[in-house]
Structure 1
Amino acid sequence: MTIALDTPGTDGLAGAVAALRDWQYDGAAFQLHPGDLGWFWRFGTEATAAAVRTWSRDGRILALGLLDGPELLRLTIAPDAARDEELARRLAGDIAEPDRGVLPAGKVYVESPEGVLVKDFLFERGWNLDEPWTPLRRDLTAPLPDPGVRVEVVGPERAEVQAAVLRAAFDGSTSTADRWHAMAAGLPYADARSLLAYDGRGEAVATVTVWSAGPGKPGLLEPMGVHRDHRGRGHGRAVTVAAAAALRELGSSSAVLYTPSRNVGAVATYESAGFRRYPETRDQAREA
């Protein structure tokens, strides 16, 4: 059968999340995670459904993309279809041609795992490499050390506190308690936790959300932030250790994350929390 491009709608989100869970395994190329959909869910179920694209053959999802903004498609592919030529050519055409409704005309970006064939076809169409990102991973076989700070799981009553820390951690953040509630109502949050770390005076100084993909699979940290007034005191390392411990409790085999390579402070923080740096990855970009 031919390959079908779909926007699955709200009824299709469960299938999309299930596919992403199924494709996660240790040793895989760093790729889109169900937690990435979960974090996007803060904009609501309908917005999340509108941002998802799937490519299927004979009723089976082979590739899934998340429009993380109008100009960025975050794409991943079923492991056994990474070098499927028919799929790769269809993906490249749908992505590169603005009239197919995946990405608009002008400068746009695609994130996809290393080693997938669609990258080659996009290069043939004149796409180029964009800025480097650093993937990091921590094995969760052994217990984690005590983070050294008080950490609590965020519930509805602490949603505004977490949102305030995120706003103070990321310039331009639009985090609100309502968005936390929307995220927490999403399908992926059933296997997720939001954490708050406190300093010795009882002030909330850092936060992280962790996303399990199921027992024995890699879990994701997205996002982690430290309040701008409390940086340089080890809170980033502490909350990252707590995040890894939470993922281990959820049954994750490892913890993974990405950060822009230019953010050398973040890379150093994650390494101090026991994460191992992996070779850089790059998005692909089409110039306007």
Structure 2
Amino acid sequence: MTIVLGTPGVGGLSEAVGVLREWQHDGPPTQLHPGDLGWFWRFGAEATAAAVRTWSRGGRILAVGLLDEPELLRMTIAPEARQDEELARRLVEDLAEPERGVFTGKAYVEAPMDALVQDLLLDGGWNADEPWTPLRRDLTAPVEDPDVRIEAIGPERARLRAAVQRAAFGESTFTGERWLAMAAGSPYADARCLVAYDDQGEAVAAVTVWSAGPGKPGLLEPMGVHSEHRGRGYGKAITLAAAAALRELGSSSAIVSTPSANVGAVATYRSAGFLQLPETRDLGAPRG
């Protein structure tokens, strides 16, 4: 059967989220979690649908990609199809040819490290880009207390959550309205937003966590500490709170990924009991 590249439309987003849930496991990083779509949903359902690509055969989705940026496709593949040669070759063709509608200019791809498409892209002249560090914390045992006040955020505190995000990430455009759009997406049914406070009642850190269902890894995306309150342990505290929230949601583990160059973030996650996994790399299209 022919492999078909498509965009799901708003009506097909639930199916894409559903297969991403099914594909999550506690082995090597899958590179795309339903929470990644959930976080992108802050731009609205239509924008999210326009950024998603699916590859299907016989009506069954085999791969899902998210254009997290116009030049970056984050994708994952059904575990049983990662060595499927027909799929891998079709992916390479679609990623390399601008007229296929995935990229129109420069191109970077993030894909599972154990997928055949990685080898084919490298053989085709694609180049390894900056390394990322994935980290994981097992949630079998209870998580230690973060020792700060933690609040679960609902719609009435959306603007506060957004303000902490902007204070943590200087280029962030997150707003209360975008929080509401994110919370309206189907992935947020199994998500939580948390804010940490200092002894004076100031909001100092925030995180959003995304469950993929009971017995599956949950994702931290994003986590940030207010720029005026760094170096005081609030990153560790909010990360512990995130892990505890995912455990309450039934997640088997908590996962996160950060650029390897961000040594402070890596250290923060490790201080909260996360184990550092082998680095992953995006692949950049050949220049020429």
Partner of 1:68, secondary structure, is strand
Q: CA deviation at 1:124?
A: 2.2
Partner of 1:114: 113
Partner of 2:152: 153
TM-score (norm 1): 0.98
Distance in 2 (CA, whole Å) between partners of 1:18 and 1:213 is: 9
| RMSD of Structure 2 on Structure 1 (CA) | 0.8
Letter in 2 for 1:173: S
Partner of 1:187: 186
Letter in 1 for 2:187: P
Distance in 2 (CA, whole Å) between partners of 1:30 and 1:100 is: 24
Partner of 1:24: 24
Distance in 1 (CA, whole Å) between partners of 2:178 and 2:122 is: 37
Letter in 2 for 1:92: V
Partner of 2:209: 210
Q: CA deviation at 1:115?
A: 1.1
Any runs of at least 4 consecutive aligned residues in structure 1 with deviations exceeding 3 A, and if so which?
Answer: none
Partner of 1:41: 41
Q: Is the 8 A contact 1:149 1:198 kept in 2?
A: yes
Q: After the TM superposition, which residues 1-288 of structure 1 pair with which residues of structure 2 at under 5 Å, given as runs?
A: 1-105=1-105, 107-288=106-287
Distance in 2 (CA, whole Å) between partners of 1:29 and 1:40 is: 19
Q: Is the 8 A contact 1:215 1:251 kept in 2?
A: yes
Distance in 1 (CA, whole Å) between partners of 2:36 and 2:71 is: 17
Could you list the runs of 5+ residues in structure 1 that have no partner in the other structure? none
Q: CA deviation at 1:108?
A: 1.5
Q: CA deviation at 1:104?
A: 1.4
Letter in 1 for 2:197: Y
Distance in 2 (CA, whole Å) between partners of 1:175 and 1:100 is: 31
Q: Say how many residue pairs are matched.
A: 287
Distance in 1 (CA, whole Å) between partners of 2:28 and 2:61 is: 18
Q: CA deviation at 1:287?
A: 4.3
Distance in 1 (CA, whole Å) between partners of 2:68 and 2:286 is: 18
Q: Deviations over 1:32-64 (max 9, x none)?
A: 000000000000000000000000011100000
Partner of 2:258, secondary structure, is strand
Distance in 2 (CA, whole Å) between partners of 1:25 and 1:278 is: 15
Which deviates more from structure 2 when the two are superposed, residues 46-55 or residues 27-36? 27-36
Partner of 2:69, secondary structure, is coil
Letter in 1 for 2:207: V
Distance in 1 (CA, whole Å) between partners of 2:113 and 2:248 is: 29
Letter in 1 for 2:29: A
Q: Is the 8 A contact 1:30 1:135 kept in 2?
A: no
Q: Is the 8 A contact 2:29 2:134 kept in 1?
A: no
Q: Deviations over 1:205-264 (max 9, x none)?
A: 000000000000000000000000000000000000000000000000000000000000
Q: CA deviation at 1:26?
A: 1.1
Distance in 1 (CA, whole Å) between partners of 2:34 and 2:276 is: 22
Letter in 1 for 2:101: G
TM-score (norm 2): 0.98
Which deviates more from structure 2 when the two are superposed, residues 111-120 or residues 244-253? 111-120
Distance in 2 (CA, whole Å) between partners of 1:165 and 1:30 is: 29
Q: Is the 8 A contact 1:62 1:78 kept in 2?
A: yes
- How many percent of aligned residue pairs carry the same amino acid? 72
Partner of 1:19, secondary structure, is helix
Could you list the runs of 5+ residues in structure 2 that have no partner in the other structure? none
Q: CA deviation at 1:30?
A: 3.6
Partner of 1:118, secondary structure, is helix
